[in-house]
Amino acid sequence: LGRKINTALADLTKAPVIDEKVLDAILKDICGALIQSDVNIVLVGRLRNNVKKAVNVPELGAGVNKKKIIEKAVMEELYKLVDPGAEPYKPVKRKANIFMMVGLQGAGKTTTCTKLASYYQRKGWKTALVCADTFRAGAFDQLKQNATKAKIPYYGSYTETDPVSIALEGVEKFKADKFEIIIVDTSGRHKQETELFAEMQQISAAVEPDSTIFVMDGTIGQAAESQAKAFKEAANFGSIIMTKMDGHAKGGGAISAVAATQSPIIFIGTGEHLHDLDRFEPKPFIRKMLGMGDMRDLVETVQEMGMNQNKNLMENIKQGQYSLRDMYEQFQQISKMGPLSKIMGAIPGMSPDMLAGSEEEGSKRIKRMMCIMDSMTDLELNSDGTPFQTHRSRIIRVAQGSGTSVHEVEEILSQYQRFSSMVKTMGGKNGLMNNLPTDP
């Protein structure tokens, strides 16, 4: 899908004159690509109409950049498809926040509830898991294994067969122990059956969840709409987690589920491991779907946060030039703004281990790197790291000057090399940066 839409948008560049006919042809390509990506046909029709309404080609003046206006209209419509504008539940500190997971068997509920618990635990919440799946053999063992690995307290039973009483017992126990986030895993069935929905409603009535989360397999394509609708009616969930977005998921399932239920997606599952859970953000999601890379995210974040006031840096990045000082200045700006993880994620080549841990740990790490770089000379900072390669004594001097280790200085330099090579491939005359929308 991504490639096709990008090609359609690129056609805009090639067209000598942009008139109604060109716009129609492009919209046809885009809509075709969306339908192939399992996006519901009604939604696609709406997108086409909205873009046509937003872009009144004949009325566009001669001086305006039509390509940018069309591109912007298409992107806005795509963003709207995955952003219902509804706020998901925000857990409250020092209170028992009950989450209940619902979804079909195999959707990824059990896997996801441990990921979610671990996510909150890393952020400092007191978190626990309750296994209310008595339907699937081995359900409790699966949750137990995951929870143990993630060091999360859990509750379940091998003998009790009534999911409602287990759910209630577990929740009451963890409430009494002052847990802040209690996640209840429920059973699924292969189909949307009456028994499943009845069980879900009974558990829900018993534990009174603050947030019911619908877990959906992201690879189911066209089935997403009816499945999401059925669960919305039966469980009135507040938010969605899409799983298996690492595989062949095309994005259409996510779009259809949001449209059918007007509920926000809060996370996406991107693998089978504990850390394979990403916060869902409409814009990056769509841009990733379109095959638009990190650099675009960087530029947009930079623009959104007013970081582009640093004209020199932006110019340098565009030229494909990037010195140690540029990296330092980026750190400086980052440490003044939050949320850290969002901005960090947007920096080219940022390694995932720098993002690990809490926000606080992350900003400490940045401060430490800046502190080390404070021991560099102007010549070194303005360079691309070469002085350190030719004179290893410089590394030792910086390590001593900042009271750190040679290893740490080397780590900064290799981090810098990663940024820099990313900037080089993205920048330059033919780079992505030069095809980006600039400020009006």
Q: Are strands 277-279 and 127-132 parallel, antiparallel or unpaired?
A: unpaired
Sheet with 277-279: strands ordered across: 154-155, 127-132, 181-186, 97-102, 211-217, 239-243, 265-269, 277-279
Which residue in the set 48, 66, 80, 109 belongs to the binding site for ligand GDP (CB under 6 A)?
109
| Choices 202-210, 239-247, 299-307, 416-424; region in contact with ligand GDP by CB under 6 A | 239-247
Pattern of binders to ligand GDP over 110-139, x per CB under 6 A? xx----------------------------
Strand, helix or coil at 266? strand
Q: How far is the CB of 93 from ligand GDP (least distance, A)?
A: 28
Does the protein bind Mg ion through residue 186 (CB under 5 A)?
A: no
- Nearer of residues 102 and 426 to ligand GDP, judged by Cβ: 102
Pattern of binders to ligand GDP over 163-192, x per CB under 6 A? -------------------------x----
Supply 229's token pair. 């609708």
Residue 59, Cβ neighbours under 10 Å: how many?
Answer: 6
| Choices 5-13, 202-210, 270-278, 426-434; region in contact with ligand GDP by CB under 6 A | 270-278
Distance CA 206, CA 307 (A): 49
Does the protein bind ligand GDP through residue 271 (CB under 6 A)?
A: yes
Does the protein bind ligand GDP through residue 247 (CB under 6 A)?
A: yes
Which amino acid does the sequence have at 90?
K
Q: Are strands 265-269 and 277-279 parallel, antiparallel or unpaired?
A: antiparallel
Kindly report the three-state secondary structure assignment for every residue of 22-88: HHHHHHHHHHHHHHHCCCCHHHHHHHHHHHHHHCCHHHCCCCCCHHHHHHHHHHHHHHHHHCCCCCC
Helix and strand numbers (H, E) in the chain are: 21, 8
- Nearer of residues 97 and 110 to ligand GDP, judged by Cβ: 110
Supply 57's token pair. 């080609």
- Nearer of residues 172 and 276 to ligand GDP, judged by Cβ: 276
Q: How far is the CB of 430 from ligand GDP (least distance, A)?
A: 35
Which residue in the set 37, 40, 110, 243 belongs to the binding site for Mg ion (CB under 5 A)?
110
Q: Which residues bind ligand GDP (CB under 6 A)?
A: 103, 105-111, 188, 243-244, 246-247, 269-272, 276
Q: Which residues bind Mg ion (CB under 5 A)?
A: 109-110
